[in-house]
Each structure stands twice: as C-alpha cells, then as structure tokens.
Structure 1
Amino acid sequence: MALFDLPLEELRDYRSESAEPEGFDAFWSKTLQEAREHDLNARFEPVDAGLATVDVYDVTFAGYGGHPVKAWFCVPADATEPLPLVVEFVGYGGGRGLPHEHLLWASSGRAHLVMDTRGQGSAWGGGGGTPDPVGSAPAFPGFMTRGIEAPESYYYRRVFTDGVRAVEAARSHPLADASRTVVLGGSQGGGISIAVAGLVPDLAGAAPDVPFLCDFPRATTMTDRHPYREIGLFLKTHRGRTADVLRTLSYFDGVHFAARATAPALFSAALEDQVCPPSTVFAAFNAWTHDDKQIEVYDFNDHEGGGPYQEAAKLAWLRDRA
C-alpha cells in the first residue's frame, strides 16, 4: 500500500488523544510490588547449542504471579568481566525460538537475554516454552482481548510485568553490567520495551522498532490488520463495550509509558506500515520526554521496517550507550 497515514511533517508533531487513566502509576506500582513478593529465582542452566563463539544459558525466572518464564541468555564465549546488557522482547505470536537465532548481540560483545512471551510462540520462528496459566472471560482468538474486561485481568498486565522481571533476572547474572542495560524489540517486542522503559527508571537506552501497543484509540480505528483488528472484531460482537475496553487499554498504552521513560531512545517507523501505522509509532516517540531521542524513518516499507538496516543503526547507536 502507498502512504496512507499523515504526511511525515505532520507525524513529527502528532500527539495522541489517548487519555491517561486515573491511577496509572498506582496501578503499576501495585502490580510490580505484588510481583516482587515472589522470589525472582533466576536460574541459568548452561546449554550446548553447538556454538563456538557464544555461551548459551537456558533461563527460568519468576514473572507475574511468580509464574515461570523462559528466556535465553547468550554471552561471548571468552567473557570474564561484566558486559553491557541487551534485553530483547519478541514480536506477536513468536517465542524465544532457538539459541542460534539470537547471535547478533552476543557477537557484538554484549550479554543478551531474549524473553519468551507467555502463551505465545506458536505462530512463527522456533517456538516458545512459557505457558500463561491465567484464564480469562470470552475473548476473540489471539491475545489482544484476553482479560480485556478490566486492567487487573488484562493479558498485557502479565506480559509487561514479565518484561520488568526479565530485566531484573538478566541483571542478576555476574556477566551483566546492570548500569549499561538496554531494552529493545520489534512490533510487540517494541511495545513491551516501551512499557519496560517506563517502569524501570535506570536504563541506559531503549530501541523499539515499529512498536505495537501504542495509541490504541487511533490504531484500533485506523487499521484493519491484525493484531489490532482483534479488538474491533471483539467489539463487533460485544456491542456497547467500547468505552470500557478503551479504558482497560489506556493502562497499557505505550504513549503513557513513553511519557515516563528516562532513558535515551532510538525508534523506527515505516510509512507504509499497516500493522502499526506510523502515526501510532510517532505518538509514543513524541511523548518520550528524554532529550536524547531519535527516530529512523523507512519511507516505502511496511511492517518489516528497516530490517537489517535498522540492526546496523542500533549497533552504531549503542556504541556510545551500552
């Protein structure tokens, strides 16, 4: 599809109409406090993945509700001192996959943890291994409407909490330099990284690519592509619940987390992206309050965004930060 959203000059000034809910900070403070009542219990089990230049650990830690969450932790094979740390979150439907799918960041001389997304990991890639033991009221197939009847029960309350705990787990490893921690990911992973950046105050950076889960009021009415379309199809059946659903989503909108982030940021957006329309990405970027922020724009790309070009941009950007 050709350009369908606002012109680039208008995107650079665009502000979301997403209203911050009352008690946003109290909700997340209570959520994380409850999660931390469970022992993090981060375990790193060495794995022979057949790789000569990277050491791999199979990680399990306690996420939301104390539920076990899986991850891979990779470091350069010759590492003996603490390294800059990259914590990565994956796109919608994917899981942590297999270790050899995640060589970039350890190959750049960093410690790298990639978190499984609970309940996902069966749509693409090498799969996942983290169940979501929490049920929900009736929902549209997918994850976007699970527990959407209230913020307390919404699926992404658990996922974002897992993301914060993933940072804590990765920082507990002796080869991780906690003071040089960066969070990143694409699409859903970008949305999770924005949320974590808004909840963890001492990060060295955040690099969300074509992030999902931002500016829900606009996204849900602008695109008919999944996953956002799951919300519209849910409301097509459950007539009259739009206000309640948008209230729940407001507690998980990347725009509000971006306004609380205190780390430098490198975003990316694609102007033909029908999954995460560029205005929704700019909504989060423009809400980001740290002065050290920049956004790479890919004029003629859809949701693949910058792909390997953006990876190169992140490698260059991280040289001065982690």
Structure 2
Amino acid sequence: MKLQTQIPLKPVSQNTIDYNSKIVLFGSCFSEHIGGKFVYSKFNTFSNPFGILFHVKAIESLIEKSISEYKYSEKEIFELNEQFQCFDAHSKLNGLKSSDLVSNLNSKLEQTKHQLETATHVIITLGTSWVYKHKSSTKIVANCHKAPQHQFDKILLSAEEISQSLQNCITHIQSINSNVQFVFTVSPVRHIKDGFVENTISKAHLISGIHSVVNLIKNTSYFPSYEIVMDELRDYRFYNDDMLHPNKIAINYIWECFLDVWISNATQVIIKDVEVIQKGLNHKPFNENSLAHKKFLSDLELKKASLKEKHSITF
C-alpha cells in the first residue's frame, strides 16, 4: 500500500557533486538550509554573501555587481533605526558605521567573484515573484529593511521577466566560468503575507520562468524541492509551528532526495563517514577523564586523519 504520491527523481549522469566540487548558493532561507547541509558534510561551499535574497532580481544584481567589480559608496547607504543599511543586502549585513558597511559590501562582492570564477555548481533557490520597487530611486530592492511601506510599489514579476533575469545570471557567470553547472529550485516556504492566491501565482511564475531556462540552456537543471514538500510531504507535521516553513524532518528529507539526484553512491558513503565524525565532535561525555572516552577521542582522530589523507577533508 502506498500512502503518498512520490516525485520521480532521476540521478544525473554528468556534472555530479563530489568532494572536488566547489558549490556556490544564492537565494531564499531554504537555500540557507541546504547550504548548511553542505557545510556540515564538509563540502567546499560559499553561500549567500549578501544574506538571504528572496527574488531573482536581487540575485542578478549581486552577481552582476561582483563580476563587473562594482564598488559601493556611502551614497548607497542609509540610516534607519540606528543602523546603516543597504537595499541590496539582507539586514544581517547592517552596521553601526556607514564606512564599515560599505567596506563589508565591497569585500563580499570580491569574495563572490572569486568563488564564481572557480565554482563547479551554482545553486539558486527562488522564493517569490513579488518584488518591491523603491519609488524615489525606481530601484527594485532586495530587502525593504522595514522602511515605511509608502516608499515602495509592490510588483509581480512575470514568468518571462524571471526567465530573462536567470539568463542574465547565467551569462554573467559564464563570462568568467564557462564550465559551471546550474541547479535551480523553488523554495517550499509559502509567503502567505502576500495572500494565499497571490503566493500560488508567485510560485507558478517562478516554476514557469525556471523551466523555460532549463529547456533552453545547457548545463541547467531543476530540482523539485517545492513539489516534494507539496506532494510527498503533504502534512502539517512536516512544518514548523508557523505552518509555513518546512521543519527539520522535511529539510532532512529534501536533502536526502537531493543526494540521490546529484551525489553518487561513493560520495554518499564519504558523507556518512563525515557525519560519524561530526556526531563524535558534538558528543558530550559523562566523564572526560575515563579510559573509554580517551579511546573514543583517539579513534575519532584516526577517522579524521583517514578522511584528510583520502579526500583532503579537514575538521
């Protein structure tokens, strides 16, 4: 008896991810979760230098600025609620001095270009088609930073605009790295503040825009994280208390699905070895001075040395 509908997943045959890969991730908070999984498993990972970016225009802006070696100045910084902020970045980059924020933004741009030059895989997770345009500057912002709502116009990007923006991202990156593999996905997090119907329209535009790119451009692929949650995990027990964000169980499930598609069985064995060590490092002994714990630590060091020698993985 089957108790759920399952999304058919086919392992990729080319450009798989292994411990020689260099992975760059941009996008929504769901991208942060998957990026965290890569970091925990000790992959070479670079994620969201400007913090969480919910829509494609913000991601395109970051990529374009980094590759063109753009330099921020203090005229692009504003003060609100006793912090200096930038409409292009998440609030986690806010600073107490405008000069510090400018320096941090420019440093992040340099890091991003460097990472994109050597990346093997770029994973982009889109959260919404809704964007906010700052009225006085006519600029689409990455984050409103709780500035007064009357300063912005709310706009729904069309599937065609999303497709074109993604193609711009690809073109920019391929100008410095022609061998990169792109993986696109849609965040399963529902943006109910936009409205229930409006959220559905938003996700539909994202899916349509992405697929037009995947059908057009080589070395691009779609991973159905949104569909996995909507169909396979169609139950509120897989959500956090807000009933909007997938919980830890759901994230782990999607991660396992991602492994089955993008990571070979041989590399998955190494991931399990890494997980054994990670759990060991987090182990809290009852008696740190016991012989058993000292042997446990000795065995752990041997496992770490083995992974470093075989796969250049360090802890």
Question: Is the pair's TM-score, using the shorter chain for normalization, greater than 0.5?
Answer: no
Q: Which structure has more strand as a fraction of its residues?
A: 1
Larger radius of gyration: 2
Structure with the higher fraction of residues in helix conformation: 2
Q: Which has the higher contact order (CA 8 A, sep 6+)?
A: 2
- TM norm structure 2: 0.29
**Normalization by structure 1: what TM-score?**
0.28
